[in-house]
Structure 1
């Protein structure tokens, strides 16, 4: 069960920070993180449950991998945005300077993921969707 930052109002049941702008950032980022992570998980599960025939290796599996990585990156970004906005909602009353460290710390995994996965992603997109007529075939490396 997901709990809202700050809890709920006991009489109405509505979130306490409902009127704050950062709460709306939390709600939207949390929903987008859920949708994109479920989509990425389904794409990767589709790879595991494929038939493993030749045609799958040429067409279906690379496209599923590209879609999985495409949805995995926004999932990570939205999850960190939701976590950071929840922290700023809870801590903004006591610590006014908390926005800068949270933003810097949330950027580290995003940048690391981009550095590690972007070369693979670009090569996969090129090899899957770029026509072979425009690329010379390298016989010798």
Structure 2
């Protein structure tokens, strides 16, 4: 059935791929967060239809002398512009937060709890294992925030060609959001551990109290960015399985018949 249907053309010489260039309805696109991910979904659908039709029909022109790809680009030029604006806006805002974290943890590496020994210039608590946790967590937070900055910077410097919306840009956004989350988490660990270093003998309730409230920013980030991160992961890795040939039914056959 598929081999009989895919070569068909309408009165304007449009084949199935010409018709696939049309944008989905706003109700369907509303299920995907952000114009960039919506553009990715449209490209995946066009690519799937392209793989179904005969190769000789992929570059066929209609009565207006336009190929399916040219029609697709013309139909989605506004969505590409909106996707670029959305991606740049998200990357810019996240990069500011990552830069702020990098500045804080960089300063914390030289203003360690307890200070330095006046005689030898080494940290006073350097023999304590909890101090090692502080140093390692602070360094990891700095590295992750720096990686997040570079990732979002690469998004801002991208070409924003059509094919970039399929995998390149969503993957970079997912990597940037993940490293930003981990940098916030390790920054809170560094902050909490510093109180355990200072109040390790007396008033132990202070570091415990601070550590409990230090979880709040991490949970707040998860709650506020959960839907975006899930949509990015689903669009990047789950969308490639949306249009599996095994799930495409051109007609339904009742198994009881």
Unaligned runs of 5+ in 1: none
TM-score by length of 1: 0.88
C-alpha separation in 1, matches of 2:212 and 2:111: 25
1:117-136 pair list within 5 angstroms: 117-130=225-238, 131-133=241-243
Which has a greater percent of helix?
A: 1
What corresponds to 2:112 in structure 1? 4
C-alpha separation in 2, matches of 1:19 and 1:118: 40
CA contact (8 A) 2:152 2:176 kept: yes
What corresponds to 1:21 in structure 2? 129
1:94 Cα deviation (Å)? 4.1
TM-score by length of 2: 0.50
1:95 Cα deviation (Å)? 1.9
C-alpha separation in 1, matches of 2:192 and 2:206: 10
> Which structure's CA Rg is the greater one?
2
1:37-76 pair list within 5 angstroms: 37-76=145-184
- Secondary structure of the structure 1 residue equivalent to 2:134: helix
Aligned residues: 137
Where do 4+ consecutive residues of structure 1 move more than 4 Å?
none
CA contact (8 A) 1:30 1:82 kept: yes
C-alpha separation in 2, matches of 1:49 and 1:124: 19
Between 30-39 and 49-58, the greater mean CA deviation after superposition: 49-58
RMSD over equivalenced CA pairs, Å: 1.9
C-alpha separation in 2, matches of 1:104 and 1:3: 23
Structure with the bigger RCO (C-alpha within 8 Å, sep 6+) is: 1
Unaligned runs of 5+ in 2: 1-106, 249-257
1:81 Cα deviation (Å)? 0.6
C-alpha separation in 2, matches of 1:4 and 1:89: 10
What corresponds to 2:95 in structure 1? none
